[in-house]
Structures are given as structure tokens and as C-alpha cells.
Structure 1
Amino acid sequence: MVRRQLELIGEDPDREGLLKTPSRVAKAQMWLTRGYGQTASEVIGDALFAEDHENMVMVRDIEMYSMCEHHMLPFFGKVHIAYIPNGKIVGLSKLPRVVEVFARRLQVQERLGEQIADALEEVLQPKGVGVVIEAVHLC
């Protein structure tokens, strides 16, 4: 398929610089969409801790890279997550991993935020959760 795309844009898929392009594209696509093989529960694992406080927990500026499901072009930016604990907290390093699970799927920004919030709601059962995404789209 990539070979045909190269032909359609007027390239010669047999020239030296493009010979391995189809296999490189396949590998890149597998990496960019690896979130289909992961769940939030798996990446959080046992990093849940009992905690009585009810102060908001916030992690800002989580790097996010995804692909638009309409054009398969990148969009990227920052995710900010906040939640109010309800008896348990998650290790802070796990929040970027939860973002990654859902960002590494074909996406729309609105659903991405909802999936992140729903996953944290399911795992943590917090008193409240909020997700804000600031992104630039290349489509």
C-alpha cells in the first residue's frame, strides 16, 4: 500500500532512499497505534495507594502525541489531569502512561479526554476528575 502511495505522488519506490520506506512505515504505524494493545488498568498496575486526604491532585503539561482518525495525521500537545481522591491515589508517573494508552490509538481530541477521564474514574473512583487537552492538529 505504501509503495502504491509513493507511486501516486509521483515518486519512484525503487529509488535507494525509498526502498525500505514501506517496512519503516509499517513499523512506525505499529508504534504509533500500540495503545490498542494496552489498558489503563495494566499500566497503572499496583501503583494505587490508600490515602485519606481530599486535596486535589494535579499533573500538568503531560506530553501527548496522537493521530487523527479522519486523516491519520498527527496531533500533539499537552494534557492536564486533576482529580479529588476518594480514599486512594495513583502514583503520579502513571498518569502520563494512562494518557499514552489512549493517545496511541486513532483518535479525536474530544474522545481522548473522555477516555482518560473514564479510565481514572473506573480505577480510582475519585470524588471528581478533570482532563484538559491543548493540542495542535496537522490535519
Structure 2
Amino acid sequence: MDATTKNPRPARLYAGMEIGRGPQITRPSREKAEEAVRTLIAYAGDDPEREGLRDTPRRVTSAYDEFFAGYRDDPIEVLSRTFDEVAGYDDIVMLRDIELNSHCEHHMIPFIGKAHIAYFPTDRVVGLSKLARVVEVFARRLQTQETMTAQIAETIDTVLKPKGVAVMIEAVHQCMSIRGVRKPNVATITTQFTGIFKEDPSQQARFMMLATERGRS
């Protein structure tokens, strides 16, 4: 099986940036970030210098490095190594129940759920773990679920150039569960389809059936 590496750049923009890259900004120092956390602790009504909170700014900035690691990664690069040999395979490739954790860009509160992804290969495929990695890259950024769904589909469509891509995300948003209307366990579902999944209702229905099939192990 021969591997090829390509790095196409999509022209479409989401939130003012190419889908592969995050925004080009100057990041503040860790010291400034920790000072901002101290300010928020004081705004919440507590003393950032008391014993239990003294190390919290350091812990929060370290957590942010993990929560938002997707800004340091390029999903286009993740998918750049593809394989041209498909041995006559002519059907969809699907991953379902890819767990994701992201943060709502409106309140910076987590939303947690699963992604289901399918693509219909033409002349090349990609390692299955790479598809899950693309979800991880976009999830580890400040997001709306709608934008993330579109970004994942656009990235796969751009790099692999398949006959079509289907993406479905179902997630529970803590900004709705623990604040505002306070309705827990309400799932938000978003979908994005390209190519054959958009044009052929039977293929779209097949994807939805596989993604939502219950009672699976």
C-alpha cells in the first residue's frame, strides 16, 4: 500500500480563519494568563491569595493548555498521509461514537458528546485514527457545535476528495444545563453533508440509520 502526503489548503473560511489553522494572534505570557485568573477569582468574590486558591491560577493555565491544544495543531496535516491502494473497496467508511469534549465560545463552558463520521472514498483512504484526531483538533478549540460540524466535514472533503462526507454530532451543552434555562441532558444534534450524502437521499438515510442505531454494543 503506497502512502502519499499532500497538503491542500481550503479557501473557505470559518470565523475569519482557514479551517486548518487557528487565528494569527499574539498569545500573552503565562504570567499574564495567571494574573487574569486571579482577577476572575476576585470577581467571583473570593481571595486569590488564600491557601486553597493560591495555586489555582497555575492549575487553570495548565488546564487551558490541554483544553485548547487544538490551536497548536493543523487538521489538514493530520489527514495529509493517505493511501492510494483501496483493493477494490467501494462503499462508505464510517466511525461512530467518537467521544468529544469542547468548550462553547459564548460562555467558555464545556459541551460533551459524540461525533459520527463517514466518507465514501474515491482513490485514497486515510488511517481511521486520523479521522478521530481531526475531531479532537477542532474540539480542542473554542467552538460552536454548528461550526465544528462544518469544519470537520470541510477538512475531510478538502483533503481526501471523496465522493461525499457525512458528519453528525450530538452533544449536551453545560451552558444550558447549569446556567440560563438549566435544562440538563438536552442533546443538540448537528449534521453536515457533502457530495453523495447531500445529493442522494438514500445514502444520507443510510448514514443516519447507522449513526443513530440503538441497542448496539
Alignment TM class, shorter chain as reference: over 0.9
TM-score calculated relative to the size of structure 2:
0.61
Is residue 108 of structure 2 the alignment partner of residue 72 of structure 1?
Answer: yes
Report if aligned partners of 1:53, 1:87 keep a CA contact under 8 Å in 2: no
**Alpha-carbon contact 2:119-2:163 (below 8 Å) kept:** yes
1:3 paired with 2:38, answer yes
Give the match for residue 31 of structure 1. 66
Q: Distance in 1 between matches of 2:135 and 2:111?
A: 14
- Structure scoring higher RCO (CA < 8 A, sep ≥ 6) equals 1
- Out of 122, 142, 159, the position equivalent to 1:123 is 159
Higher mean displacement: 8-17 or 66-75: 8-17
Structure 2: distance between partners of 1:97 and 1:55: 22
The aligned residue for residue 131 of structure 2 is 95
**Which ranges of 4 or more aligned residues in structure 1 deviate by more than 4 Å?**
none
> Which shows bigger deviation, 19-28 or 107-116?
19-28
C-alpha deviation, 1:26, in angstroms? 1.2
Return 5+ residue gaps in structure 2 as ranges.
1-35, 176-217
What's the CA shift for 1:23? 1.3
What are the equivalent positions in structure 2 for 1:18-57 lying under 5 Å apart?
18-46=53-81, 48-50=82-84, 51=86, 52-57=88-93
Q: Distance in 2 between matches of 1:44 and 1:87?
A: 15
In the alignment, structure 1 segments of 5+ residues that lack a partner are: none
Aligned-residue CA RMSD (Å): 1.1
- State the structure with more CA Rg: 2
Q: Which residue is 1:17 aligned to? A: 52
- Percent same amino acid among aligned pairs? 54
Count of paired positions: 138
Q: For 1:47-101, what per-residue CA distance to the aligned partner results, in whole angstroms no more than 9, with x for missing partners?
A: x112242201100000111110100111110000011001111111111100011
Q: TM-score, normalised by structure 1?
A: 0.94
Deviation of the 1:42 alpha carbon = 2.1
